[in-house]
């Protein structure tokens, strides 16, 4: 199953970080919860204006790294389990919702933020239901996987913050473009996943 360079790089980074944290005796659940706290801090940071957008980008990046590391720690330490998988999945969805709330606070239209989040949630819901129905693996690595969403959020907040520092009213349009990219990739990724699920379950 082929993956994009972003996803492949993300997996390599996750493994390296997981090995390091495992050596430091940090548990996977602790990493997951740390990532969730970072996510929930993003909307708070964004309210500080352009500088807050830049801070929000850093927080999303750190949260994304935590999300990558927790699974790797679980595998490396042999602590991977169903409960941890559920906790991680719930934390991911709450975290992404927090990022999109930050987008909205930065000036993105509410309908666009909700649509982007809805498509991402539907993507993950379809995969989960297909696995329950008998799909043997993830089906396909789409253009809208978690690493891509992290990249879009970081880039959007970073570019929006930089634009806002130049001119106050430039930040919101830039972050709105990022939200539109998130939604577009989500729709394309969902279509890719639908085709894969139909093939796997037919």
What per-residue confidence (pLDDT) applies to 14?
Answer: 79
What per-residue confidence (pLDDT) applies to 174?
Answer: 97
Say how far apart CA 164 and CA 24 lie, in whole Å. 40
The pair of three-digit structure tokens given for residue 56, joined into one six-digit string = 């929000």
The pair of three-digit structure tokens given for residue 177, joined into one six-digit string = 């473009």
What per-residue confidence (pLDDT) applies to 22?
Answer: 81
Question: What totals of helices (H) and strands (E) does the chain contain, helices first?
Answer: 7, 0
What per-residue confidence (pLDDT) applies to 182?
Answer: 98
Say how far apart CA 168 and CA 171 lie, in whole Å. 7
Write down the pTM of the prediction.
Answer: 0.90
Alpha helix locations (H) across 78-145? Answer: 82-105, 110-133
Segments of the chain with pLDDT less than 70: 1-7, 10, 80-81
Task: Judge whether 111 and 165 are in contact, CB under 8 Å.
Answer: no
Say how far apart CA 148 and CA 12 lie, in whole Å. 15
Say how far apart CA 123 and CA 132 lie, in whole Å. 15
What per-residue confidence (pLDDT) applies to 150?
Answer: 94
């Amino acid at each position: 199953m082929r993956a994009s360079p972003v996803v492949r790089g993300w997996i390599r980074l996750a493994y390296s970080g997981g090995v390091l944290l495992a050596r430091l005796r940090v548990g996977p659940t602790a990493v997951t919860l740390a990532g969730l706290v970072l996510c929930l801090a993003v909307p708070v940071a964004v309210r500080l204006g352009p500088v807050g957008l830049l801070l929000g980008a850093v927080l999303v990046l750190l949260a994304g790294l935590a999300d990558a590391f927790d699974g790797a720690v679980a595998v490396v330490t042999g602590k991977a389990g169903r409960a941890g998988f559920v906790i991680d999945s719930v934390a991911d969805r709450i975290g992404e919702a927090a990022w999109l709330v930050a987008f909205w606070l930065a000036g993105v239209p509410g309908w666009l933020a909700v649509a982007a989040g809805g498509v991402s949630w539907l993507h993950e819901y379809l995969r989960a239901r297909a696995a329950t129905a008998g799909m043997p693996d993830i089906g396909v690595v789409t253009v809208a996987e978690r690493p891509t969403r992290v990249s879009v959020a970081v880039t959007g907040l970073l570019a929006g913050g930089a634009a806002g520092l130049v001119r106050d009213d430039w930040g919101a349009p830039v972050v709105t473009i990022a939200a539109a990219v998130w939604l577009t990739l989500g729709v394309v990724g969902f279509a890719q996943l639908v085709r894969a699920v139909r093939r796997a379950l037919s």
